[in-house]
Amino acid sequence: MSGLLAGLDERITGVRELCEDLHRHPELSFQEVRTAGVLAQRLRAAGYEVTTGVGGTGVVGVLRNGPGPGVLLRADMDALPIQEVEAVPYRSTATGVAADGTEQPVMHACGHDTHMAALIGAAEQLAAHRDSWSGTLLAVCQPAEEGGGGAQAMIDDGFLERFPAFDVALGQHIASAPSRHLYVRPGVFMAAADSLRVTVHGRGGHGAQPQATVDPIVIASSTVLRLQTVVAREISPDDVAVVTVAAVHAGGKENVIPTTAELTLNVRTFDPDVRERVLDCIRRIVRHEAAAAGAPREPDIEPINGFPLLVNDSEAALRIADAFTEQFGAEFVHEPPAKAGSEDFGVFGAAAEVPSVFWNFGGFDPALYPDPAKPNSAVAAGKAPGNHSPEFVPTGLEPTLLRASAALVTAAALWLR
């Protein structure tokens, strides 16, 4: 490892500059045109065979370096429709057109800029030390992780047929946690997620004559309250699930009862059987609340997006945790609990039927986190920003990117060497 990591310290200034550039120019899901161009240029300069436009805007760099296993390293590229606070000189002032057609401020509020920069840092480092390993490296820059469709779009675009086979898929995500710390968990790591749009149909009319209407707002309100009983009363206390009604839209005038009301829901689960049970409960409650109110037709229940359960291969995850401990020290490596957040990274390993491992790296001032093994407590206490916050801008970029790049190299070397 000393040979593979030699010179990474000197390389990291350029990696930081790349990260700041990407942070200044965020792009929404499947719109990552500039981002893809910047990353493709860096990979070509490092000696990779580069293919662009994979799954929309995805980029794949391939470095063939003799016989041996194939290793896939993945980073996601898309940003979020969030207005960034003015905290750093490379703050984003970019805007983009969101899925609903409106122009929105855009920022890397989930740290995908650090993922891309660290991937380039690792890819350049491995390319510079080809005499220290043998095999094939795939550097994958994936679009549209935030909506859950980017990884599958790349697979659907013939990823497995167009690019060399790989024996393991590796990825990482920045977390609200102390810089230089790493978090690896064997087995189930991140929840499955299902987002649904429910349209309740009523019969509109004048607000002065409610008896002549079927009020969809009342139906929607009853539905929201009843959905809170799914986890409380229909899921075992031994299981974990989250049901969130995140938006309600109905009506436009104070004296007009509308014809429809729309709810958007998000569901998080850690077990396939629990997932099906929760979704069945939601469908039953939505339909029966409408029927009880005399709705003229059943509600429409449509999927918006979904993320599969992210499960780390246990043996591979333990190997990586041991390697991190040996390389960086036990005080910097932790086994976290499973997270209710979701990721589509696992699609690559599942499609290829190979092990995959995903871990977190910290990116913020360690002084904010009294207990590095429990960083979420600092977020809950308001001492540190969480992912998707307008304040989620890593502090101390170079130490963060150095550790993230070194982590990718360290993990890849377990197979490549």
Domains and CATH numbers, the chain: 2-190+309-416 (3.40.630.10), 192-306 (3.30.70.360)
Options 84, 124, 145, 289, the catalytic residue: 145
| pLDDT single digits (tens) 247-300 | 999 999 999 999 999 999 999 999 999 999 999 999 999 999 999 999 999 999
Asked if 48 and 123 count as a contact pair (C-beta separation under 8 A), the reply is yes
Options 78, 113, 313, 343, the catalytic residue: 78
Residue appearing with tokens 């206490």: 381
Catalytic-residue membership of 78: yes
Residue 111, both tokens: 């740290």
Give, to the nearest 10 degrees, the angle between helix 33-45 and helix 112-128. Answer: 20
Give, to the nearest 10 degrees, the angle between helix 8-24 and helix 33-45. Answer: 160
Q: Does 49 show up as a binding residue in the annotation?
A: no
- Write down the pLDDT at residue 3: 86
Pairing of strands 182-183, 333-334: parallel
Tens of pLDDT, residue by residue, the chain (417 residues): 778 999 999 999 999 999 999 999 999 999 999 999 999 999 999 999 999 999 999 999 999 999 999 999 999 999 999 999 999 999 999 999 988 899 999 999 999 999 999 999 999 999 999 999 999 999 999 999 998 899 999 999 999 999 999 999 999 999 999 999 999 999 999 999 999 999 999 999 999 999 999 999 999 999 999 999 999 999 999 999 999 999 999 999 999 999 999 999 999 999 999 999 999 999 999 999 999 999 999 999 999 999 999 999 999 999 999 999 999 999 999 999 999 999 999 999 999 999 999 999 999 999 999 999 999 999 999 999 999 999 999 998 999 999 999 999 999 999 997
| pLDDT single digits (tens) 302-327 | 999 999 999 999 999 999 999 999 99
- Write down the pLDDT at residue 2: 74
Asked if 287 and 227 count as a contact pair (C-beta separation under 8 A), the reply is no
118-132: b (≥16 Cβ within 10 Å) or e? bbbbbbbbbbbbeeb
Q: Does 173 show up as a binding residue in the annotation?
A: yes
Residue 116, both tokens: 């891309």
Using the Cα atoms of residue 266, residue 271, residue 272 and residue 274 in order, give the sign of their dihedral.
negative
Q: Does 141 show up as a binding residue in the annotation?
A: no
Catalytic-residue membership of 157: no
